[in-house]
Amino acid sequence: MKPLTEDHLAIYRRHMVEVIDIHFDLLSDELGKSHLGESLRTALLKVPRHVFVPRELIMAAYQDGPLPIGFDKTISQPFIAALMVDQLDVQPDDKVLEIGTGYGYQAALLAELARHVFSIDVVEEFIEMAEARVQALCYDNVTLRVGDGSRGWPDEAPFDKILVTAAGEEIPEALAEQLKPGGRLVMPLGGQDVQQIKRIEKRANGELATHAIMPARFTPLEIV
């Protein structure tokens, strides 16, 4: 078989976005919208998802499903990744915290949308792999570190937006504290078997308003 070219990969990316569009249309009642935001669409068409999966899975990188990346973790289904970023409503001047870096795909998407992205993973090897990838793609607005994501990143707080890509039964207190008033946090919440992706908005008085988006299943947030 011939090797994949950049033209082939661009076609796969376009197909991936078309499938995401179908999901958004089918779930328009639940999501309150029937299409992706244009800035996120542009990011999805630009960021090379195949760079952020194990080499042996490159052919499956743009399929609409999660893929294993080691350490009992996965890279999320493209639709779920897009949905969670879309629900954040990232603005160009936002400072964003991501919990659960993996190979760095969502950090790269966020970097296309935000002023700066800070991303934490408990797995040191993931941070090393993500660092190599975001540097190779010249994302100079991404800062990564190894750590317990449930504690957030106090030295860089507060954040306009927080994305958590692992599940918990409740929002970690540190993350709620590090979210700016008027900010948004998106996270899967629930028990080990079934969770709901939820959007949490922090009001001016510090209260949290929670909106359920859709059911999902994520690996649990590790606390160390």
pLDDT (tens digit, 9 = 90+) per residue, 62-95?
999 999 998 888 899 999 999 999 999 999 999 9
What's at 193, amino acid-wise? Answer: D
Is 119 considered catalytic here?
no
Rounded to two decimals, the pTM is: 0.94
pLDDT of residue 219: 87
Domains of the chain, earliest start first: 6-216 (3.40.50.150)
- What is the rounded average pLDDT of the residues 109-131? 97
Task: List the catalytic residue out of 34, 76, 119, 150.
Answer: 76
pLDDT (tens digit, 9 = 90+) per residue, 44-69?
999 999 999 999 999 999 999 999 99
Are the beta carbons of 142 and 113 closer than 8 angstroms?
A: no
What's at 15, amino acid-wise? Answer: H
SS3 annotation, 61-119: CCCCCCEEEECCEEECCHHHHHHHHHHHCCCCCCEEEEECCCCCHHHHHHHHHCCEEEE
